[in-house]
Amino acid sequence: MQVFKNLLVSLDLTDMDDTLIKYSNFLAKTFRPDSVTFIHVMELVDIPDELAEAFPDMDKPITEIVREEIQEKVDELFESSAELKRGVKVVVSHGSTTEGIVEFARKNKTDLALLGKKIGYDGEGGVARKIVGLIPSSVLLVSEISPQEVGKILVRMDFSSISAIAMQTARGIAEATGAEVNCHHVYKLPLNFFPQQSPAEVQKLKKRLSDYVQSTYKAFLKKHKLDQHVPCTFSMDLHGEEAQILYNQAIKTDADLILVGSKIKSQLANVMLDSTSEKLAGANKSIPVLVVKDRKQSIGFLKALFD
């Protein structure tokens, strides 16, 4: 099972690039994609004549100069192989970073984009969040301290069709890495659902909910023909903190990859990224997060909005 065929790595000319190139090397060795493309989209500024005269190489287009610099770093840190059918490419263009990367992914059938989420390096991650929301491909976000291995995977479970795709993706990753897969479902009840109930009554309600969720999970696995042996745990969210609950569960179970299926939203300000996915992708969370999307559905939705 080839999980990812076309990998796109977004670089921003900071120290984070070294991390992303090395991590993409791990991804290429593990998942054997057909192509790996390193992309940087830059906003061009006018160069004063005095500066141009001081640097003779400036007779080249600035995009070509940057492309050569990135190519040198890729040649140093990325180990290419003959199995890459369409090879390794470096693409540098100018314009809006978000629009350039999203458009490239849309036109070139990218199915996984690798982005950085900075823990120690400077940067608030605003551009990355915009890209994750709009790009049609699945997105893997890694930090400077992310290990180049996948031993345990935690999948967000909400019984939706995108959760089924996330589970199928997790299965493919597990086949390639030998990783252990678990899932976690967070069910929501408002605080006012417990008016003046005793602790014993609350525990009884939680037990009934747990039984209900367990049976729903079994029916979900059967419906989507998924592995019946993947364990799933459950917890209650009373305060709208699903992302933090999932992240805490990942820490508790020593997971080194979180998979979350991203549902399509209709708001233009945040076209595709639901709030839980967005919070898990935040820069303050160091565990790598794979935001799984249905590419065909995402492409259709983007065309309906922007074409």
Tell me the average pLDDT of the chain.
83
- What is the structure's pLDDT at 286? 85
Give, in order, the Cα–Cα distances in Å from 32 to each of 5, 142, 291: 8, 19, 20
Nearest 10 degrees: Cα torsion 164, 169, 170, 173: 170
Residue closest to 301 by CA, chosen among 166, 162, 173, 169:
162
Q: Is the dihedral of CA 54, 57, 62, 68 positive or negative?
A: negative
Judge whether 184 and 233 are in contact, CB under 8 Å: yes
pTM of the model: 0.86
Mean pLDDT across 103-127:
81
Mean pLDDT across 127-143:
88
Mean pLDDT across 85-110:
90
CB hemisphere CA count around 152 (13 angstroms)? 13
pLDDT-derived band at 118 (thresholds 50, 70, 90) equals confident
According to DSSP H, which parts of the chain are helical? 16-31, 49-54, 62-77, 97-107, 126-134, 161-177, 199-223, 242-252, 275-280, 295-306
Q: Which residue has the higher pLDDT, 35 or 280?
A: 35
Q: Among the ranges 51-60, 96-105, 112-121, which has the highest mean pLDDT value?
A: 96-105
Pairing of strands 6-10, 112-116: parallel
Q: Which residue has the higher pLDDT, 144 or 194?
A: 144
For domain 6-306, which CATH number applies: 3.10.129.10, 3.40.50.12640, 3.40.50.12370, 1.10.3470.10? 3.40.50.12370
pLDDT-derived band at 73 (thresholds 50, 70, 90) equals very high
Residue closest to 132 by CA, chosen among 283, 286, 304, 305:
283
- What is the structure's pLDDT at 270? 44
Q: Which residues pair with 40 in a beta bridge?
A: 92
CB neighbourhood size of 3 (10 A): 21
Q: Which of 30-34, 191-195, 239-243 has the lowest mean pLDDT?
A: 191-195
pLDDT-derived band at 296 (thresholds 50, 70, 90) equals low
Backbone φ, ψ for residue 186 (5° rounding): -110, 115
The domain ranges of the chain are: 6-306
Q: Which residue has the higher pLDDT, 23 or 241?
A: 23
Structure tokens, 151: 């031993």
- What is the structure's pLDDT at 204? 80
- What is the structure's pLDDT at 285? 77
Q: What three-state secondary structure class fits 153?
A: strand
Backbone φ, ψ for residue 107 (5° rounding): -80, -25
Q: Which of 81-90, 118-127, 265-274, 279-288 has the lowest mean pLDDT?
A: 265-274
Q: Among the ranges 53-62, 110-119, 193-202, 245-254, which has the highest mean pLDDT value?
A: 245-254
Q: Which of 14-28, 74-88, 183-197, 254-268 has the lowest mean pLDDT?
A: 183-197
- What is the structure's pLDDT at 301? 47
Asked if residue 232 has pLDDT above 80, the reply is: yes
Judge whether 275 and 246 are in contact, CB under 8 Å: no
Give, in order, the Cα–Cα distances in Å from 81 to each of 24, 85, 129, 141, 252: 13, 9, 31, 24, 37
Segment 77-95, tens digit of pLDDT: 998 776 776 789 999 998 8
- What is the structure's pLDDT at 267? 47
Mean pLDDT across 24-30:
93
Cα distance between residue 240 and residue 29, in whole Å: 39
pLDDT-derived band at 116 (thresholds 50, 70, 90) equals very high
Mean pLDDT across 192-197:
60
Q: Which residue has the higher pLDDT, 10 or 117?
A: 10
Asked if residue 17 has pLDDT above 90, the reply is: yes
